[in-house]
């Protein structure tokens, strides 16, 4: 579960790596407001086999994303709720990378972000299970590239479990 993860920070991958359809590992950038949260998130998803890189805030996320070329950004909801997404619109890589919002305290029904362009999904960490989490991450990573500023994005399907 979330609170009992162990491992190293930075770039990480579990032995049973989660791979994309082309055989390459699924890469994610785990971003939070504090280093302890971004590192914990990276360890947690690395245990699921995702190749992870962690970052604190938008400034370091841009640099980390440029180096790691993530397939998906896993971002703490509080960061998304408190920082204007206009900054993401100006970053070429982040504005075209699917974002999965995650939270330890808020349920999906409480969020306002799922209607925003660029937010591909949401994961509630305390009850998260590996198979559904990987299904959502892979689905987000396989979506066609889009732009946060685009009004042409297709409506999102919402899956309740």
| 3-class SS string, the chain | CHHHCCCCCCCECCCCCCECCCCCECEEEEEECCHHHHHHHHHHHHCCCCEEEEEEHHHHHHHHHHHHCCCEEEEEHHHHHHCCCHHHHCCCCHHHCCEEEEECCCCHHHCCHHHCCCEEEEEEHHHCCHHHHHHHHHHHHHCCCCCCCCCCCCCCCCCCC
pLDDT digit string, tens, across residues 32-73: 999 999 999 999 999 999 999 999 988 888 888 888 889 999
Contact between 50 and 18 (Cβ < 8 Å): yes
C-alpha radius of gyration, the chain, whole number: 14
pLDDT of amino acid 144:
63
pLDDT of amino acid 42:
95
CA 90-37-17 angle, to 5 degrees, is 85
Cβ contacts of 91 within 8 Å, gap of 6 or more:
58, 62, 65
pLDDT of amino acid 110:
72
Q: What is the mean pLDDT of each run of 10 residues along the chain (161 residues)?
A: 39 52 81 93 94 89 85 90 72 79 84 62 92 93 62 47 47
pLDDT of amino acid 21:
61
Please provide residue 143's backbone torsions phi and psi, each rounded to the nearest 5 degrees.
-65, 150
């Amino acid at each position: 579960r979330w609170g009992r993860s162990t491992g190293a920070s930075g770039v990480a991958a579990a032995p049973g790596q989660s791979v994309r359809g082309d055989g390459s590992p699924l890469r994610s950038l785990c971003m939070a407001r504090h280093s302890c949260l971004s590192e914990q998130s990276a360890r947690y998803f690395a245990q699921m086999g995702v190749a992870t890189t962690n970052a604190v805030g938008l400034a370091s996320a841009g640099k980390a994303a440029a180096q790691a070329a993530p397939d998906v950004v896993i971002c703490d909801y509080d960061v998304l709720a408190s920082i204007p997404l206009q900054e993401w619109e100006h970053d070429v890589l982040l504005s075209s990378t699917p974002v999965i919002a995650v939270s330890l305290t808020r349920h999906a029904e409480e969020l306002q972000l799922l209607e925003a362009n660029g937010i591909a999904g949401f994961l509630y960490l305390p009850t998260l299970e590996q198979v559904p989490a990987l299904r959502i991450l892979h689905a987000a990573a396989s979506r066609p590239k889009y732009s946060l500023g685009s009004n042409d994005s297709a409506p999102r399907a919402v899956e309740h479990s």
